[in-house]
Amino acid sequence: MDLQSYMRAIMKRWRIIAGCVLIALSLAVLLTLFTHKTYSSSVRFFVSTADASNNSQLAQGNTFTQDRVKSYTQLMKTPKVLQPVADEVKMPGGAAAIEPKVTAKAAPDTVIIDTSVVDTSPKRAHAIAQALGEQFPKAVDELESVSKDKPSPVKVTLVQQATKSTKVGPSWPTNLVLAGLLGLLAGTALALLRERLDTKLRTKDDVLEAADDVTVLGAVPFDKDASAHPLIVADDPHSTRAEAFRSLRTNLQFVDATKHPRVITVTSSLPGEGKTTTAANLALALAESGASVCLIEGDLRRPRLLSYMGLEGGVGLTDVLIGRVAVRDVVQRFGERRLMVLGSGATPPNPSELLGSEPMRAMLEDLRGRFDYVIIDAPPLLPVTDAAVLSRVTDGTLVIAGAGIVKRDQFLDALDHLDAVDAKVLGVVLNRVERGPRGNYYDYRYDYSPSTAADDNDKGRTLTSRRSRKGN
């Protein structure tokens, strides 16, 4: 992933990041609320030699005390010092209870020891620090004494009395800032991980990364009201989705100019990717440009086309193929357009055999001579073989990829099904494309006024990759 891909993933999955930040902040608030307040009191000691009558002795004594100071910081936390303190402040648990509360440190190259006491009680923190100020010099003097007649060569002086206890924790600003940063990092990492593990096709780049020898002929934007208005080209011709189908129509006209496909299979990898609505709206867009179109409901197992178009379907394709009726007797005109619709008819027990039969070939050749385009709404490729069978008797196949629905492996399996029967893949149509971070639909913009067919020809664009398909 490049930087742009990372940024796109972060913007796409900002809810994950925001959720992690909110969770981290909530935990920080709870921990801060339920954490006991702590208070600190401190004392300061100065370590010197007892006898330094001249400069030479003073220098030697200073070096000696600096070495000693390092040990005194450790001595501060021993029972020798802390037990008398515990006895004085009447601390339950004795020296062991005080030891975690005491911190002693010496600045480098100095003979000053700073000692702090942290406790949940401000009075107790001050009392312990005050007691340390009294007991520590006594302990050092006792330990460093050579004999009763010869006093200790080291002198520890309390130079700062126990300070007034001040609150040191918990800190709201610190906790919230740290929690926010941790939540942001965790959310970003989770969002990027989710992006890496998500194999669903969502953008044109995803399609080309999965199978970069295919052509992306168009992208249809997502519309939450699409189910209520499946025939968007007829219902709302000025909408963004309608313009996307006109762009698809234009791009289709540039596919294989020497042998222009006229009989086209429209399919998908899985159910629910929008193949039926794409086939219907493409047929409407072609008819709108002045072409004569025959739209066939080729999904004999779960037909939906006629219900979308508001047409009756008692007799249809299956009746034609078994010779019961002629095509001209069962096709239905849709509106005032040059669009004829052939329903599926009765559900047969052998759809695949019927779609690949010689009567099917003969019917398509007959329709080829009577119409400019024949569009067949076929079943999805992975559940059944019907679409692959149909692809063998048509000029080419449009594969619909539902953004956020079909996974990379499923898409590649569908293409393999077509490769197995030597079917010609005209291109891929990315359906249900989410709006991108800059308001466009990932490299496709349809923000212009209603146009004529001639305008569409000028604005048409075909995106083709010359690389070979990955993963095969």
Can you tell me the distance from the alpha carbon of 285 to that of 243, in angstroms, rounded to the nearest whole number?
9
pLDDT at 13 over 50: yes
Query: pLDDT digit string (tens) for 440-458?
Result: 444 433 333 343 444 444 4
Helix axes 172-197, 3-12, angle to 10 degrees: 110
pLDDT at 150 over 80: no
Band of residue 354 on the pLDDT scale cut at 50, 70, 90: very high
Query: pLDDT digit string (tens) for 189-238?
Result: 999 998 888 889 988 988 998 998 899 999 999 988 888 889 999 999 99
Q: What is the pLDDT of residue 328?
A: 92
Regarding pTM above 0.75, the answer is: no
Q: What is the pLDDT of residue 275?
A: 96
Nearest CA among 302, 291, 297 for reference residue 252: 291
Q: What is the pLDDT of residue 472?
A: 41
Q: What is the pLDDT of residue 61?
A: 54
Q: What is the pLDDT of residue 266?
A: 97
Percentage above 70 pLDDT, the chain: 88
Query: pLDDT digit string (tens) for 271-322?
Result: 999 999 999 999 999 999 999 999 999 999 999 999 999 998 889 999 999 9
Q: What is the pLDDT of residue 461?
A: 34
Helices (H), 35-166: 55-75, 79-89, 94-98, 122-144
CATH homologous superfamily of domain 38-168?
EIF_2_alpha (3.30.70.1130)
Can you tell me the distance from the alpha carbon of 299 to that of 49, in angstroms, rounded to the nearest whole number?
101
Q: What is the pLDDT of residue 446?
A: 36
pLDDT at 376 over 50: yes
Band of residue 151 on the pLDDT scale cut at 50, 70, 90: confident
Can you tell me the distance from the alpha carbon of 104 to that of 377, in angstroms, rounded to the nearest whole number?
81
6-20, 112-126, 201-215, range with greatest mean pLDDT:
112-126
SS3 state of residue 268: strand
What average pLDDT does this structure show over 45-71? 69
- 8 Å CB contact between 137 and 167: no
Query: pLDDT digit string (tens) for 158-199?
Result: 999 999 999 998 989 999 999 999 999 999 999 999 888 888
Domain ranges, ordered by start, for the chain: 3-35+171-196, 38-168, 201-464
Can you tell me the distance from the alpha carbon of 410 to that of 433, in angstroms, rounded to the nearest whole number?
18
What is the pLDDT of the chain when averaged over all its residues?
Answer: 87
- 8 Å CB contact between 21 and 147: no
Q: What CATH number matches the domain at 201-464, 3.40.109.10, 3.40.50.800, 3.40.190.10, 3.40.50.300?
A: 3.40.50.300
Nearest CA among 358, 284, 275, 347 for reference residue 316: 347
pLDDT at 425 over 50: yes
Percentage above 90 pLDDT, the chain: 70
> Cα–Cα distances in Å, from 218 out to 199, 303, 410?
21, 25, 20
Q: What is the pLDDT of residue 196?
A: 83
